[in-house]
Amino acid sequence: MNSKNSIINIAKQTIEMESKAIFNLSDLVNDDFADAVTLIYNSKGRVIITGIGKSAIIASKIVATLNSTGTPSIFMHAADAIHGDLGLILEDDIVICISKSGNTPEIKVLIPLIKRAKNKMIAITGNKESFLGQHADYVLNAYVEKEACPNNLAPTTSTTAQLVIGDALAVCLLELRGFSSTDFAKYHPGGALGKKLYLRVQDISSVTQKPKVSASTIIRDVIIEITEKMLGVTAVVENNKIIGIITDGDLRRMLTKVDDFSKLTAKDIMSANPKRIQADAMAIDALEVIEAFGISQLLVEENGTYAGVVHLHDLIKEGII
């Protein structure tokens, strides 16, 4: 039972069982789902999401997803709600209650209190005929045939279904709001994700380094410039406009072809019309160019003039990769 093959087979069976359950959810999406999305979209209040046990954990995740995509949401634990946290719910708020069975004791106590306050209630449940299903204004059906747990007890497939329903809600609302990547960046300013959305080429430190030589610069001075600036590259400029590029690789290739380079200049070994990017472009766009052409450095321009270099290592350091 503890062989590698047995473990792999169990893992595959779990994934296959849950994937089939998720696929079947698409057949359960109906007018209630569309009406619930419309209700939330038109609401002046927040979305309060509640549940008990594993459903409470799923509720927390859905809250996080909604908040990050433009729908203000708050998590309220069902057990805490009946001991004072009901004060979280304001007049215009909409309550989403998550429960597989729809008949847990805490949920049955909580529902009449929400109804008494006249807040609209959306149920995410696997049992439409449950107490929750019967009293909710809208029911989002999260029915699954069985749990992935061999005893059909541990919430596995059912919580995955709840999570997917929450994601579907969030994506529908995101689309209705016309929520853009710029909006997304406002809610995700930190970490690698935020940097991908707001970091520009001109914000990268190495851009302030501007290794440059003229077309007539002798090779010895080209090597010194590349070495001192430590970016493995130098731009070849004329009137501060880019006309070429010389990399470490260009120098190595030169040494395999000539024995005496004392009479050579930058113009003799440079690559003309090199790839470049605008200083105000997104850093993620610089990465796409670097990856597309298999290069390590990219020259930067601003208003048609040479502005510096963006290096693959800087993008790694900033967490863009």
Residues in binding site for Zn(2+)? 77
Distance from the first to the final alpha carbon of the chain: 40
Return the residue matching tokens 């979280």: 88
Tokens at residue 304, please? 């048609």
Up-side HSE of residue 99: CA atoms within 13 Å toward CB?
Answer: 30
Q: Which contiguous run of DSSP H or E holds residue 11?
A: helix 4-25
Distance CA 87, CA 158 (A): 29
Binding residues: 77
Distance CA 119, CA 4 (A): 52
Distance CA 57, CA 210 (A): 51
On whether the CB atoms of residues 47 and 94 are closer than 8 A, the answer is: yes
Q: Which contiguous run of DSSP H or E holds residue 289?
A: helix 283-293
What SS3 state is found at 309? strand
Tokens at residue 164, please? 């997917």
